Amino acid sequence: MNRPATTPEPPYYAVIFTSVRKSDDAGYGVTAQRMLELAARQPGFLGFETAHGDVGISVSYWSTLDAIKAWKANAEHVLAQQRGKAEWYASYRVRVCRVEREYGA
Amino acid sequence: MNRPATTPEPPYYAVIFTSVRKSDDAGYGVTAQRMLELAARQPGFLGFETAHGDVGISVSYWSTLDAIKAWKANAEHVLAQQRGKAEWYASYRVRVCRVEREYGA
């Protein structure tokens, strides 16, 4: 992805996932890529943006809160979340947001 | 910043700024740092996270929509926004969001 996600007219929803990874994060990259592929197939998925520096920030966009709940409960995603907590993340925050307004160029 | 922003109990607001920079972005770094310093002094500023990859993602957190409006209208920030559009950004999106729920570890 080399451009901002293309999303519809608000309102829609965003999940901001901010994380700091441990130095030993074996398996993270493969799982992250797999989760993106799975998420993109979920009903209500609108787009995704990610960037990594001192922290990693991944934002996924969704049509409804129910679509976010369904993705959170996806069986393979649940396993990835458990592994993330146990192995990969020194700290993380998940913020579920309603996008009220969008503009750009 | 080497950890996620520490923010209060929701609801509060987030501005997700996703951008792709042009290859020639002289002056960007200094201005970006200055804008963060200025934003942090604005009433209602709660925190900031940023990371850069193929896209840059910067998320600022605010107590109210009025705090976001006041920051957008800050004179020095207005100049930086104009310069960003004219010189630095190949494309960008600004998404103003209400944070409904937050959790993490």
Interval B17-50: pLDDT, tens: 999 999 888 899 999 999 999 999 999 999 999 9
Domain boundaries in chain A?
A: 12-99
| Subunit contact B102:A89, Cβ cutoff 8 A | no
Interval B67-104: pLDDT, tens? 999 999 999 999 999 999 999 999 999 999 999 999 99
ipTM: 0.96
pLDDT band for position A25 (cuts 50, 70, 90): confident
Q: Considering CB atoms only, which of B14, B52, B96 is closest to A51?
A: B52
Per-residue pLDDT averaged across A60-82, rounded? 98
Percent of chain A with pLDDT over 70: 99
pLDDT band for position A1 (cuts 50, 70, 90): low
Helix, strand or coil, per DSSP, at residue A74: coil
CATH number of B12-99: 3.30.70.100
Percent of chain A with pLDDT over 90: 92
Asked if pLDDT for residue B59 goes beyond 90, the answer is: yes
| Subunit contact A4:B91, Cβ cutoff 8 A | yes
Instruction: List the B45-52 sheet strands across, edge first.
Output: A45-52, A56-62, A12-21, A89-104, B89-104, B12-21, B56-62, B45-52
pLDDT band for position A2 (cuts 50, 70, 90): confident
The alpha carbon of residue B10 is apart from the nearest alpha carbon of chain A, in Å, by 9
The alpha carbon of residue B76 is apart from the nearest alpha carbon of chain A, in Å, by 19
| Subunit contact A97:B96, Cβ cutoff 8 A | no
Task: Provide the 10 A C-beta neighbour count for residue A92.
Answer: 21
The alpha carbon of residue B7 is apart from the nearest alpha carbon of chain A, in Å, by 10
Per-residue pLDDT averaged across A28-53, rounded? 96
Query: Which residues have CB under 8 Å from B58's CB, separation 6+?
Result: B16, B17, B19, B48, B49, B50
List of chain A residues whose C-beta atoms are within 8 Å of the C-beta of residue B89? 105
Chain A residues 36-75 with a CB less than 8 Å from chain B:
49-57, 59, 65
The two structure tokens encoding residue B27: 């002056």
B95 touches chain A (CB under 8 A): yes
pLDDT value for B1: 62
- Name which of B57, B59, B92, B94 to mutate to probe chain A: the one with the most chain A Cβ atoms within 10 A of its Cβ: B57
Which residue's entry shows tokens 């966009």? A61
List of chain B residues whose C-beta atoms are within 8 Å of the C-beta of residue A100? 65, 96-98
